[in-house]
Amino acid sequence: MHSDQRVALEKIRTVIADDHDDVGRRVAHRIAEVMRSRRAAGKRTVLGLATGSTPIGVYRELIRMHQQEGLSFADVVTFNLDEYYPMDPGSIHSYHRFMWENLFDQLDIPQANVHIPRGDVPREQIEAECQRYEEAIQAAGGIDLQILGIGRTGHIGFNEPGSGRESRTRVVTLDLVTRKDTAADFFGEENVPREAITMGVETILEAREILILATGEHKADIVRRAVEGEIDHEVAATFLQQHGDTTFYLDRAASAALTRIATPWLLGPVEWTACLAVRAVVWLSHQTGKAILKLTQRDYAEHHLSSLVARHGSPGALNGEVFNALGTKIRGRSKLPRGTRIICFSPHPDDDVISMGGILHKLAVNANQLTVAYMTSGNLAVFDHDVRRHLDFIARLAAERRIPEAAAVELQCQVNEFLARKQPGDVDTPEVQDTKRLIRESEAVAGIQTLGLEERSARFLNLPFYQTGKVKKDPIGPADIAIVRQLLDELRPEMVFVAGDLSDPHGTHRVCKEAVEHALDEYVAAGGTRPEVWLYRGAWQEWSVTEATWLVPLSQEELRLKIQAIFKHQSQKDTAPFPGPDEREFWQRVEARNKGTAAELDRLGLAEYFAMEAYVVET
Ligand code: F6R
């Protein structure tokens, strides 16, 4: 297909990179290119910068280029988009702190060249501060290259829905969705500031070149809206369509809803593959509200799919082929492995039961050699009140002389004293961190026992990258990989399960997947046989029936058992500390998703199951 046709609906130039790191590299290289060409012309570069999880990869690459390639920032001037209000620049939550920790501290940029709106000015001085910020940008000669992320509301900077095209630097009220999305970093939505100071839409559009970035499945819908939708002040990012030099950098996941990716046949002729044919027929079935086997020539013709029918000879042949392709994905217990060495890698204690509780039970019944490897302790996500309650229980046992009293009372005193003076965001003492870890370990064991696994199937890897005590984790390192590798060497798995939902609030799933991938590569290079890798999802989203390699049916009893196993993770129930933007508890999400997958197959005219889990086998 001609490339112009493919991108016909896209009103912003769009580049689809492989993954988060690839986006980071490409954007960093463009920044370096602009810096070098301006330097060659004897000019300094003015960069507009963003915070958030998306540009972290860009900053990592810039630091690498500075350290290894001598890229200097000595003459670079920067302006950040925004800062929370009120916000002390020294706070762990401030964007000042974020920028210094993640970028500036590791470059040769002079402090005087860095500009970030101040969140600590008195309210009556905000307007003057905003005015000063605008003037400073002008005085620097305007922004040469602006980096942007996009929020799920479509905000750029903190220009929330309703922000006008003409808006300039000002104080804004944060949208509820935005506050929920950042709640995890603040240890609860109630701690997220209600306001922020942000550059306006007009301020942003005055930049000579703009690079906007989005990664992850959770951004796919808003990306489509920004790139293909009408310009609308409800979605500030749509104003970028009016900017002459904007490029949108996406990873594959964030590009998934663009028409050229989701339904390319609507844009013109396509190269039909078996996989695309399945997607098109499932899509058509949705459009028409008909089961696959009832789709007619007319349905195909009316929806730009005649060429697909032509390839298969008749609608009946095509319908049958897709119906069978979906049907063969269904794997009940009799088609699942027996007597096989299997590792389920669970990023946090609970991802195992939330995402694959159904299949874990079936695999246990099939007498496989199962190990659930919990990669992090998840201690960060335990409320302080749960620590108090567990220690109270121990103190009561001690008071009744069931266990020695002195040690129990001492621990309780130490912990309670610390918790009484703890501020949101303070790093827990080792006693508190350990208690939280143990709470989650005992919940994890109870969870898998509910599914018929034995206590010894649980292995707690406690990967070092997670042990910062803070929401911000270290990048994955050789020590993490070595621990995973050791487990592979010991167990020699024939099959492994890995979390494939990469939009968890802090990116821990992505990091854990990286650790397994590196360890597997090393293991295979050292002569180990590569196990089959099954990717699961569940806590944050689920694979669609078209994406899934295998669909595993669950009966009502099996789904109930799975939910009971999830209930064992009591510290994450009712209100989890890091629930993400979804209002529902994890078990409710699981119930809806598993029943939803089954209902989808039913709608397509296949068999009617009670519930289903979905898996993608990595090739
Ligand atoms: C950050 C900013 C925001 C973020 C956006 C996406 O300075 O202005 O617009 O870019 O909220 O955040 P992440 O990257 O964390 O998804």
Query: pLDDT (tens digit, 9 = 90+) per residue, 477-525?
Result: 899 999 999 999 999 999 999 998 766 656 788 889 999 999 999 999 9
Mean pLDDT across the stretch 346-357? 96
Query: Scanning the structure block, which residue is given the tokens 């689809």?
Result: 16
Give residue 3's pLDDT: 47
* Residue of 60, 79, 81, 83 to test ligand 1 pocket, by largest number of atoms within 8 Å of CB: 81
Q: Are the beta carbons of 479 and 407 closer than 8 angstroms?
A: no
Q: How many CB atoms lie within 10 A of CB 83?
A: 24
Give residue 78's pLDDT: 98
φ/ψ of residue 191, rounded to 5: -90, -5
Tens of pLDDT, residues 124-136: 999 999 999 999 9
Give residue 380's pLDDT: 85
Is residue 160 part of the annotated active site? The answer reads yes
Q: Quick one: which of 111, 141, 116 has its CA closest to 130?
A: 116
Tens of pLDDT, residues 24-62: 999 999 999 999 999 999 999 999 999 998 999 999 999
Give residue 564's pLDDT: 98
DSSP state of 494: S
pTM summary value: 0.86
CA–centroid distance, 53 to ligand 1, in Å, is 7
Tens of pLDDT, residues 533-563: 999 998 778 999 999 999 999 999 999 999 9
Q: How many CB atoms lie within 10 A of CB 306?
A: 14
Using DSSP, state whether 184 is helix, strand or coil.
helix
Mean pLDDT across the stretch 314-322? 98
149 lines ligand 1 (CB under 6 A): yes
Give residue 579's pLDDT: 60
54 lines ligand 1 (CB under 6 A): yes
Label residue 49 exposed, middle or buried (CB < 10 Å: 0-12, 13-18, 19+): buried
CA–centroid distance, 345 to ligand 1, in Å, is 30
Label residue 70 exposed, middle or buried (CB < 10 Å: 0-12, 13-18, 19+): exposed
Higher-pLDDT residue of 397 and 503 is 397
Label residue 579 exposed, middle or buried (CB < 10 Å: 0-12, 13-18, 19+): buried
DSSP state of 578: S
The CATH number of 333-381+435-617 is 3.40.50.10320
493 lines ligand 1 (CB under 6 A): no
52 lines ligand 1 (CB under 6 A): yes
Structure-block tokens of residue 574: 């009712």
The atom number, within ligand 1, closest to the CA of 148 reads 10
CA–centroid distance, 610 to ligand 1, in Å, is 39
Tell me how far apart the alpha carbons of residues 52 and 419 are, in angstroms, rounded to a whole number: 29
CA–centroid distance, 59 to ligand 1, in Å, is 14
Higher-pLDDT residue of 190 and 588 is 588
The atom number, within ligand 1, closest to the CA of 157 reads 8
156 lines ligand 1 (CB under 6 A): yes
CA–centroid distance, 306 to ligand 1, in Å, is 42
CATH 3.40.50.10320 location in the chain: 333-381+435-617
CA–centroid distance, 156 to ligand 1, in Å, is 7
* Residue of 83, 98, 116, 150 to test ligand 1 pocket, by largest number of atoms within 8 Å of CB: 150
Q: Return the CA Rg of the chain.
A: 26
* Closest C-alpha to ligand 1, atom 3: 157
Mean pLDDT across the stretch 415-432? 90
Rounded (10°) angle between helices 430-450 and 351-365? 40
Question: Does residue 218 have a pLDDT over 90?
Answer: no
Question: Does residue 1 have a pLDDT over 50?
Answer: no
Mean pLDDT across the stretch 259-265? 95
117 lines ligand 1 (CB under 6 A): no
Q: Quick one: which of 588, 590, 587, 594 has its CA closest to 610?
A: 594
Mean pLDDT across the stretch 156-169? 97
* Least trusted range by pLDDT, from 170-174, 196-200, 247-251, 511-515: 511-515
CATH 3.40.50.1360 location in the chain: 3-260
200 lines ligand 1 (CB under 6 A): no
Give residue 511's pLDDT: 86
Q: Residue-wise over 518-551: b if at least 16 C-beta within 10 A, else e?
A: bbbebbeeeeeeebebbbbbbbbbbbebbbbebb
Question: Does residue 180 have a pLDDT over 80?
Answer: yes
Tell me how far apart the alpha carbons of residues 146 and 200 are, in angstroms, rounded to a whole number: 13
* Closest C-alpha to ligand 1, atom 12: 52
Tens of pLDDT, residues 424-476: 778 899 999 999 999 999 999 999 999 999 999 999 999 998 887 666 667 78
CATH fold for the domain made of 3-260: Rossmann fold (3.40.50)
State how far the alpha carbon of 328 is from the alpha carbons of 124, 272, 323, 554, 557, in Å: 67, 20, 9, 16, 24
Locate the DSSP E strands across 549-604. 550-554
Tens of pLDDT, residues 276-309: 999 999 999 999 999 999 999 999 999 999 999 9
Q: In the structure, what pLDDT confidence band is assigned to residue 581 with cuts at 50, 70 and 90? A: low
* Closest C-alpha to ligand 1, atom 9: 157
355 lines ligand 1 (CB under 6 A): no
51 lines ligand 1 (CB under 6 A): yes
248 lines ligand 1 (CB under 6 A): no
Question: What average pLDDT does the structure give for the chain?
Answer: 94
The atom number, within ligand 1, closest to the CA of 155 reads 9
Share of the chain above pLDDT 70, in %: 96
Q: Cα angle vertex 132, ends 131, 138, to 5°?
A: 95
81 lines ligand 1 (CB under 6 A): yes
Q: Which amino acid, one-letter code, is at 311?
A: R
Of residues 160, 441, 591, 600, which has the active-site annotation?
160
CA–centroid distance, 245 to ligand 1, in Å, is 20
Mean pLDDT across the stretch 561-587? 83
Tell me how far apart the alpha carbons of residues 568 and 440 are, in angstroms, rounded to a whole number: 10
CA–centroid distance, 154 to ligand 1, in Å, is 10
Mean pLDDT across the stretch 105-116? 98
